[in-house]
Structure 1
Amino acid sequence: MRKLLGVFLIFPFCILAQESDSTANEGSFAIFPAISYAPNTSLQIGAVGIWVLKDTDNSQSTFQRQSTITPYFVYTLKKQSIAVVNLDYYLPSGQNLNTSIRYYNFPDSYFGIGNDTDPDISEKYTNRFFQVEGQFLHPISEKLFVGGAFDAHFTSIESKVPEGLLETDDPIGVDGGNLLGLGPSFRFDTRDYTIYPTKGYFISSRLMYNGVADFDYFSYLLDVRKYVPIVNEENILAFQFRSQLTFGDEVPFYKLPVLAGDERLRGIANASLYRDRQMMYTQVEYRRPLFWRFGMTLFAGLGDVAHELNDFTFSELKYIAGIGGRLAVIPERKLNIRLDLGFGRGGQNGIYVGISEAF
């Protein structure tokens, strides 16, 4: 879920959850209203849903992989809107459909391209797009999955500033465009639980050719995670390394990898501040419960973007650190809402609200 600028208030509105018992494991559902304000959007109102589906009868696997649906909707008094549905569904035979359907008609910021952009110099524009992205994976074993990835993205860039940054830089995709990406996907997964892992590995990789419609380029994603209990399963260290690489001369600027966000390097002032053809970062997080439904985290990370792989340098690395609070909205499922405060290089900071853990 994208961070909302301005004052963000989110609180329980309705929680419908059924406790697990020895004979059945029913689904759980929760809804939360979201209210915020920013000068370029005015008042924003919306809702976030969390639906953890009833456990499937998958006796072939010893791993507990939970299916979830998380819809999210925001509307502003300036007639801007965001609608997102994230689905992570495991079939009884072990296949996994992980997909996100997004519609955005919302303000965004363009700071330029590269790792030395200025957080105080940007251009506001309207990013209007519809996207269906995800992958379908088939189990080779209870740990190994292979399949295909897809990304259909239809974009219009509107409300540009005359003679502003976008017109001056004239990046690929300055007017928007359409693309369809397809390619193979791979996953190695030994996590004990998908919603709140306490041990195991997660390794995901995919290569896509985005050559249908208006653009022509390759993209590669590698996501490696490790979860380690310290003393007991109430004290968890989570590690992540993530890399997104692009190859080709026709990558639209809005599809270039970005370094920040509510799941990436939390503490960089804006998710769009650093973007370029190649991106790498690593982060670590310490998690533990406190009392009742409350928990906390400490996190840190570093990474950067670059035009080419050999352009990465240690002196330019961006680093962050922060602290977060957790509220278990469906305790029996270990599903949290999180509020994180991050601090970054050069005095940057950010506040982030999200569903479930960052990684």
Structure 2
Amino acid sequence: MNIKFLFITLILLLNLGTTLQAQSNISNEVSDVGSADTGVKTIDKLLNVVDYFSHEDEKYAIAAYPAVAYSPRDGMRFGGLSIIKIKNQNTDNQWYRPTLLMPQLTWSTKNQVKAELGYDVYLKHWNLQGNLNLALLPNDEFYGIGRNTSSTQFTRYTSNSFDYLGEFNYMVHQKIMFGLAFNFRHQEVTDIEQPELMPADTPGHEGGLLFGFGPVFRWDTRNNNFYPTSGHWLNLQALSYNNGLSDYRFLTFNAEIRKFWSSANEKNILAFQARIDVSNHDRPFFMMAGIGGSKRLRGIDHFNRFLDNNAWFTQIEFRKHLWWRFSGASWAGMGQTAHRVEEFDLQHLQAVGGLGIRFQATKTDRMNVRVDVGFGSGGQKGLYLSILEAF
């Protein structure tokens, strides 16, 4: 795996060097990228092939691309991803909210299958958003619970799950919403290779059915919901699984803030994120708070590497338009997990940093497909392919 990772990282860095060289020769507007013009006809033809993967008109924008990626959890992944945007009548530059649909389907060299549909729908006074995720993972890994676990001591097991996290939000103002969130999950945990590393008293050892719901408050002043360059996003959410429809009983609460600044031409963007997740009781391990993944601290070896009842993380990212449809990003972040909130300290911080490339999927909207390479404390690393920005 290390050889594959280094090889893919090298390719990514070579691509970054190419786009930086192109940037020194050519300058294009981000909002209307047009066609590639490097002065070399063969290269231009190759670059402009991407237009065959997308379509855009006055009402819709659709882009679909093949996906090839690597992550420590999945191995090499192959499949397809797409972005479907349905435009609305609100073209106010200070608050533009189209409807987005984001389906993905991938298979990995570890025989893992993932099917996902994310949606973010805006009606006159309502916002409906959610994520449906089917994951068949015959070689998933469990490292234990807590911040003192070892990266070399883990057991493989089969994790099959269907997860639906959704929200119904009423917009009392175009920037302020109140609503109801819900989470339905069916989880199977089988074929544990080393039962001594996942003993029977591990919360969630037998899988189960979960259903939770609770209130949401959101204050959103971003100027764009998929590539913001100014404004902030504050989200507060609580979910209760203390009902007769769930095999587990616990409460969760999370608070998250995102803030964005940019230069006058919006080609240089600084983005900040901070989030905390807490619980009043032991959650099943597959629902525990974590700090790894493509939308959290990119650079932690495995999505399940650090799990516990409570977690927090923060990160800052610099985004810069490079050339044509390509942009670059660099980030740094830190965070930790803890069994109880009062156990948060400065001695168990996990730090990450990394670089990434973004490709603008359509000509007139900054809906990006991104590839990120992250490095973390203790020699951890990860490479991620995803749709839209991490935050």
Say which of 290, 294, 303 aligns to 2:335.
303
Structure 2 counterpart SS, 1:315: coil
> Which residue of structure 2 aligns with residue 100 of structure 1?
131
> Which residue of structure 1 aligns with residue 84 of structure 2?
51
- Whether the aligned pair in 1 keeps the contact of 2:71 and 2:384 (CA below 8 Å) is no
- Whether the aligned pair in 1 keeps the contact of 2:299 and 2:354 (CA below 8 Å) is yes
Asked if 1:15 is matched to 2:53, the reply is: yes
What is the CA RMSD across the aligned residues, in angstroms?
2.6
> Which residue of structure 2 aligns with residue 163 of structure 1?
195
Considering only CA atoms, is the larger Rg found in Structure 1 or Structure 2? 2
In the alignment, the residues of structure 1 paired with residue 305 and residue 121 of structure 2 have an alpha-carbon distance, to the nearest angstrom, of 33
CA offset at residue 89 of structure 1?
0.8
> Which residue of structure 2 aligns with residue 185 of structure 1?
216
Percent identity of the aligned residues? 30
Say which of 64, 67, 70 aligns to 2:96.
64
Asked if 1:283 is matched to 2:323, the reply is: no
> Which residue of structure 2 aligns with residue 229 of structure 1?
262
Structure 1 counterpart SS, 2:208: strand
In the alignment, the residues of structure 1 paired with residue 382 and residue 74 of structure 2 have an alpha-carbon distance, to the nearest angstrom, of 19
CA offset at residue 161 of structure 1?
1.3
In the alignment, the residues of structure 1 paired with residue 56 and residue 91 of structure 2 have an alpha-carbon distance, to the nearest angstrom, of 22
Runs of at least 4 residues of structure 1 off by over 6 A? Answer: 5-11, 37-43
Asked if 1:337 is matched to 2:337, the reply is: no
- Whether the aligned pair in 1 keeps the contact of 2:125 and 2:172 (CA below 8 Å) is no
- Whether the aligned pair in 2 keeps the contact of 1:12 and 1:31 (CA below 8 Å) is no
CA offset at residue 35 of structure 1?
4.1
**When the two structures are superposed, what TM-score results if normalisation uses the length of structure 2?**
0.82
CA offset at residue 39 of structure 1?
11
- Whether the aligned pair in 1 keeps the contact of 2:117 and 2:131 (CA below 8 Å) is yes
In the alignment, the residues of structure 1 paired with residue 248 and residue 155 of structure 2 have an alpha-carbon distance, to the nearest angstrom, of 24
What are the ranges of 5 or more consecutive residues in structure 1 without an aligned counterpart? Answer: 20-24
Structure 2 counterpart SS, 1:346: helix
Say which of 148, 157, 179 aligns to 1:147.
179
Higher strand residue share: 1
- Whether the aligned pair in 1 keeps the contact of 2:72 and 2:302 (CA below 8 Å) is no
Closer, same or farther in 2 for the Cα pair 1:202/1:44, shift >3 Å? Answer: closer
In the alignment, the residues of structure 1 paired with residue 286 and residue 295 of structure 2 have an alpha-carbon distance, to the nearest angstrom, of 18
> Which residue of structure 2 aligns with residue 220 of structure 1?
253
Question: Per-residue CA shift, 1:68-118, capped at 9, x if unaligned?
Answer: 111111235776421110011111x13111111111111321000111211
In the alignment, the residues of structure 1 paired with residue 149 and residue 50 of structure 2 have an alpha-carbon distance, to the nearest angstrom, of 38
- More displaced stretch, 209-218 vs 146-155: 209-218
In the alignment, the residues of structure 1 paired with residue 321 and residue 363 of structure 2 have an alpha-carbon distance, to the nearest angstrom, of 11
Structure 2 counterpart SS, 1:254: helix
What are the ranges of 5 or more consecutive residues in structure 2 without an aligned counterpart? Answer: 13-48
> Which residue of structure 2 aligns with residue 246 of structure 1?
279
Structure 1 counterpart SS, 2:182: strand
Closer, same or farther in 2 for the Cα pair 1:42/1:256, shift >3 Å? Answer: closer
> Which residue of structure 2 aligns with residue 29 of structure 1?
62
CA offset at residue 232 of structure 1?
3.7
CA offset at residue 198 of structure 1?
0.3
> Which residue of structure 1 aligns with residue 233 of structure 2?
202
Question: What are the within-5 Å matches in structure 2 for residues 94-133 of structure 1?
Answer: 94-106=125-137, 107-133=139-165
In the alignment, the residues of structure 2 paired with residue 275 and residue 197 of structure 1 have an alpha-carbon distance, to the nearest angstrom, of 30
In the alignment, the residues of structure 1 paired with residue 357 and residue 77 of structure 2 have an alpha-carbon distance, to the nearest angstrom, of 23
In the alignment, the residues of structure 2 paired with residue 32 and residue 297 of structure 1 have an alpha-carbon distance, to the nearest angstrom, of 21
In the alignment, the residues of structure 2 paired with residue 157 and residue 318 of structure 1 have an alpha-carbon distance, to the nearest angstrom, of 28
Structure 2 counterpart SS, 1:310: helix
> Which residue of structure 2 aligns with residue 176 of structure 1?
207
Closer, same or farther in 2 for the Cα pair 1:44/1:323, shift >3 Å? Answer: closer
CA offset at residue 313 of structure 1?
0.8
Closer, same or farther in 2 for the Cα pair 1:255/1:39, shift >3 Å? Answer: closer
In the alignment, the residues of structure 2 paired with residue 37 and residue 89 of structure 1 have an alpha-carbon distance, to the nearest angstrom, of 30
Structure 2 counterpart SS, 1:340: strand
In the alignment, the residues of structure 1 paired with residue 337 and residue 217 of structure 2 have an alpha-carbon distance, to the nearest angstrom, of 24
> Which residue of structure 2 aligns with residue 88 of structure 1?
120
Closer, same or farther in 2 for the Cα pair 1:159/1:216, shift >3 Å? Answer: same
In the alignment, the residues of structure 2 paired with residue 77 and residue 260 of structure 1 have an alpha-carbon distance, to the nearest angstrom, of 21
Closer, same or farther in 2 for the Cα pair 1:340/1:77, shift >3 Å? Answer: closer
> Which residue of structure 1 aligns with residue 306 of structure 2?
274
Structure 2 counterpart SS, 1:151: strand
In the alignment, the residues of structure 1 paired with residue 70 and residue 365 of structure 2 have an alpha-carbon distance, to the nearest angstrom, of 32
Q: Which has the higher contact order (CA 8 A, sep 6+)?
A: 2
